[in-house]
């Protein structure tokens, strides 16, 4: 029975999410149960593509990514794939009418990671759109459950939130991205040019996106609002921690929030949400 395979496919997407991201997994737990499977499936898809370009050193990454793209297209066309991650993802694409242009935008950003790039503002914005904003929009398709009017209203806020999260990731992973993968995403910034001045410019940009995205979180359907708010609080706390670090500390080490502190943030977020709202 195909239902058994579909159930197994979803389980593998869920395991993938939990294995790779404790913070994302935590946020999913506070979504309504009916939409959790779709978000696990979206994360599994983007995680596998990201692993190709970030981790599969010594292999032909370009060829692997091209095969993954082709297999993604076939999975969506056929409504089935022997790759459990893609089988799980294609179902979400059809159930929630996720536009292929979002999927293509994401894959194009993965291709950009195959070779070192000199990011100007245009390339920077293109990469953030494809690597982060479209993922937020895929999730928003699930959150709005077919209500296109609500989706269009919330779309710009979802993009701002995805962009803010990604830029925080860029700061958090500055050292590893540069030293291990040869990447610096910020426009016109080299390792020896990253200083307190351009760090402040980047932080001001992120702060404005966090402020704007919170407006959208307050407008989200109740099925998703608290789960997204938890992710927002986690990333905002990580951002505040980065702000208090010197630019040299950002260059030379990965900044993170310990699991104990994540739990404390969750508890505080829950009581604030229940007692006074966002």
Question: Mean pLDDT, to the nearest integer, of 61-88?
Answer: 98
Q: Please give the mean pLDDT across all residues of the chain.
A: 91
Is pLDDT at 85 greater than 60 in this prediction? yes
User: Sorting pLDDT into bands at 50, 70 and 90, what band is 19?
Assistant: very high
Half-sphere exposure of 101 (CA within 13 A, CB side): 1
User: Sorting pLDDT into bands at 50, 70 and 90, what band is 275?
Assistant: low
Is pLDDT at 62 greater than 80 in this prediction? yes
User: Sorting pLDDT into bands at 50, 70 and 90, what band is 95?
Assistant: very high
Question: Mean pLDDT, to the nearest integer, of 13-37?
Answer: 90
Question: pLDDT tens digits, residue range 219-240?
Answer: 999 999 999 998 898 899 999 9
Half-sphere exposure of 239 (CA within 13 A, CB side): 23
Is pLDDT at 190 greater than 80 in this prediction? no
CA-nearest of 186, 101, 94, 177 to 142 is 94
**pLDDT on residue 40:** 97
**pLDDT on residue 33:** 95
Domain boundaries, the chain: 2-275
Answer whether 168's CB lies under 8 Å from 202's CB. Answer: no
Is pLDDT at 12 greater than 90 in this prediction? yes
% of residues, the chain, pLDDT over 70: 94
Angle of helix 148-172 relative to helix 174-181, nearest 10 degrees, comes to 70
**pLDDT on residue 180:** 82
If you compute the radius of gyration of the chain from its CA atoms, what whole number of angstroms results?
A: 19
**pLDDT on residue 21:** 85
The CATH fold of domain 2-275? Farnesyl Diphosphate Synthase (1.10.600)
**pLDDT on residue 126:** 96
Question: Mean pLDDT, to the nearest integer, of 197-217?
Answer: 95
Sorted by sequence, the CB contacts under 8 Å of residue 47 that are 6+ apart come out as: 16, 17, 20, 21
Question: Mean pLDDT, to the nearest integer, of 82-108?
Answer: 98
Question: pLDDT tens digits, residue range 130-169?
Answer: 999 999 999 999 999 989 999 999 999 999 999 999 999 9
Give the 3-state secondary structure of 127-143: HHHHHHHHHHHHHHHHH
**pLDDT on residue 277:** 66
Tell me the DSSP string of the chain. Answer: -HHHHHHHHHHHHHHHHHHH-HHHHHHHHTS-GGGHHHHHHHHHHHHHHHHHHHH-TTS-HHHHHHHHHHHHHHHHHHT--SSHHHHHHHHHHHHTT--HHHHHHHHHHHHHTTS-----HHHHHHHHIIIIIHHHHHHHHHHHTT-HHHHHHHHHHHHHHHHHHHHHHHHHTHHHHHHHH----STT--GGG--HHHHHHHHHHHHHHHHHHHHHHHHS-TTTHHHHHHHHHHHHHHHHHHHTS-HHHHHHS-----HHHHHHHHHHHHHHHHHT--
Q: Is 55 exposed, middle or buried (0-12, 13-18, 19+ CB in 10 A)?
A: exposed
Is pLDDT at 82 greater than 80 in this prediction? yes
pTM: 0.92
Answer whether 172's CB lies under 8 Å from 254's CB. Answer: yes
Return the higher-pLDDT residue of 139 and 275.
139
Question: Mean pLDDT, to the nearest integer, of 63-81?
Answer: 98
User: Sorting pLDDT into bands at 50, 70 and 90, what band is 44?
Assistant: very high
Return the higher-pLDDT residue of 269 and 167.
167
């Amino acid at each position: 029975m195909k239902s058994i395979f579909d159930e197994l496919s979803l389980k593998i997407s869920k395991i993938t999410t939990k294995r790779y991201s404790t913070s994302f997994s935590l946020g999913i737990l506070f979504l309504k149960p009916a939409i959790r499977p779709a978000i696990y499936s979206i994360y599994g898809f983007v995680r596998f593509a990201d692993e190709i370009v970030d981790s599969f050193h010594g292999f032909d990454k370009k060829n692997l990514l091209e095969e993954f793209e082709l297999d993604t297209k076939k999975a969506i066309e056929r409504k089935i794939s022997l790759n459990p991650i893609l089988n799980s993802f294609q179902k979400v694409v059809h159930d929630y009418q996720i536009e292929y242009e979002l999927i293509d935008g994401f894959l194009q950003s993965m291709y950009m990671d195959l070779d070192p790039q000199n990011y100007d503002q245009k390339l920077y914005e293109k990469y953030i759109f494809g690597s982060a904003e479209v993922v937020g929009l895929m999730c928003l398709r699930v959150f709005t459950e077919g209500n296109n009017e609500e989706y269009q209203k919330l779309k710009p806020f979802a993009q701002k939130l995805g962009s803010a999260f990604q830029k925080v990731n860029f700061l958090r992973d500055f050292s590893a991205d540069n030293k291990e993968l040869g990447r610096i995403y910020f426009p016109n910034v080299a390792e020896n040019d990253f200083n307190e001045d351009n760090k402040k410019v980047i932080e001001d940009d992120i702060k404005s996106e966090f402020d704007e995205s919170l407006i959208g979180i307050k407008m989200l359907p109740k099925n998703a609002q608290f789960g997204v708010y938890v992710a927002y609080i986690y990333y905002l706390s990580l951002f505040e921690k980065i702000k208090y670090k010197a630019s040299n500390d950002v260059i030379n080490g990965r900044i993170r929030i310990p699991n104990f502190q994540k739990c404390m943030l969750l508890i505080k977020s829950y009581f604030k949400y229940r007692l006074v709202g966002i």
